[in-house]
Structure 1
């Protein structure tokens, strides 16, 4: 076993672990920002949604972001679609309104779950294999050190301690890389469960609200102007004209 091969393998192992550490901390930072944004948007939307006077007013909320807002948006669009009166003959619309609404909400929740879980498999992989990668570098380095010791014919502490100590650095680095990855993975898994439970409760409450309102949501539209009619050479609204006629008959 040549010294060059040993050096290349040990150095390659250390560089791999350093790269894995950089990926780990980058993912922890990205996922941390993502969860902060999600928590803020969910709290903000939940406050505005439950503060609305009715479900029709809640459907008119604008500029809402976050998983809860997207789940609600899918729910409102489904209610409008099923109430549009358009005849559909595909398999998707063979369910009744409640079943279709529940299906659409679940589909959107699965999309949100996929977004939340993105990157966690990388953290789990790094946390699982980093100690073994470091151990591989250590074992290889010790093998090279022992080979050199056998060639030199001396087994004194000065000869043995240096090469073996350098080889053990790979194991220490592997553990140092694995610990943050495992801690980050467990933390985000816990946070995902909390967010998923929140979305699940929100979806159930949304279906109950829709059921309470007979699965009817009106489309947002501008109010129609009152129709004008000509009476006595002037233009008045139909209601105003009707009230004038009733007043004239009362005085007659």
Structure 2
């Protein structure tokens, strides 16, 4: 085994680990910014949504950024599509309005989940294999050092310490690359669960609100529909002006009593 081959393999291992480290920190930065933006947009839209006077007004909110806004947008589109009866007769429209709405919301949530989980498989892979890649470089470097010892016929500390010490660097680099990848993976998995739980609760509340409004939503430029929906919400609330925030509190109270 030549010294050149040993150096090429050890150096290649180190370069691979350095590249993996760059990818790891790049993904951590990208996913971190993504979650900051998602958290901001979800809080903003959730506040605006529940502050709307009724579901008709909530359908025309200007803020359409973030997973919650996109889930709600799919819900409003489905309500508009099914308002007055769907003209299509495909299999999807054989369900009733509530089933179709729930299906569309779940589909959008799965899309958001896919976006949240993108890149995490790479972090998991780097965190799993980096120590072994570093160990491979170390073992190969030690093999080269032992070969040189056999050639020189000397096992003094000066001959052994240098090559073996350099070979052990690969293991240290492998561990240094793996730790941030594993920590980042676990952190973002936890954050994804929080976002998913929020979207799941939001979707359930949206279906309840749609059910309360008889699955009627205002089409663009349709004032009579808005007036009719507002009248229905007023009747349900006992003659008082309905507010989505009040409805949300009612739903929470019912679930608590149940």
- Matched residue, 1:3: 3
1:37 equivalent in alignment to 2:13: no
Matched ranges for 1:89-238 at <5 A: 89-221=89-221
Q: Any conservation in 1 of the 2:10–2:170 contact (CA below 8 Å)?
A: yes
Q: Any conservation in 2 of the 1:120–1:185 contact (CA below 8 Å)?
A: yes
- Matched residue, 1:49: 49
Deviations 1:176-202 (A, max 9, x none): 000000000000000000000000000
CA-CA distance at 1:46 after TM superposition? 0.2
Q: What's the TM-score, normalizing by structure 1? A: 0.87
CA-CA distance at 1:220 after TM superposition? 2.5
CA-CA distance at 1:63 after TM superposition? 3.2
Q: Any conservation in 2 of the 1:60–1:220 contact (CA below 8 Å)?
A: no
SS of 1:133's equivalent in the other structure is helix
Deviations 1:198-247 (A, max 9, x none): 000000000000001111101131769xxxxxxxxxxxxxxxxxxxxxxx
CA-CA distance at 1:62 after TM superposition? 1.4
Q: Any conservation in 1 of the 2:86–2:93 contact (CA below 8 Å)?
A: no
User: In the aligned structure 1, how far is the partner of 2:47 from the partner of 2:186?
Assistant: 29
Gaps of 5+ in 2: 225-258
Q: Any conservation in 2 of the 1:10–1:141 contact (CA below 8 Å)?
A: yes
4+ runs deviating over 3 angstroms: none
User: In the aligned structure 2, how far is the partner of 1:28 from the partner of 1:173?
Assistant: 18
- Matched residue, 1:228: none
- Matched residue, 1:241: none
CA-CA distance at 1:60 after TM superposition? 1.1
Deviations 1:119-142 (A, max 9, x none): 000000000000000000000000
SS of 1:53's equivalent in the other structure is coil
Aligned residues: 224
- Matched residue, 2:75: 75
Q: Any conservation in 2 of the 1:142–1:163 contact (CA below 8 Å)?
A: yes
Q: CA RMSD in A?
A: 1.1
SS of 2:43's equivalent in the other structure is helix
User: In the aligned structure 2, how far is the partner of 1:96 from the partner of 1:85?
Assistant: 10
Q: In terms of Rg, which structure is larger?
A: 1
SS of 2:216's equivalent in the other structure is coil
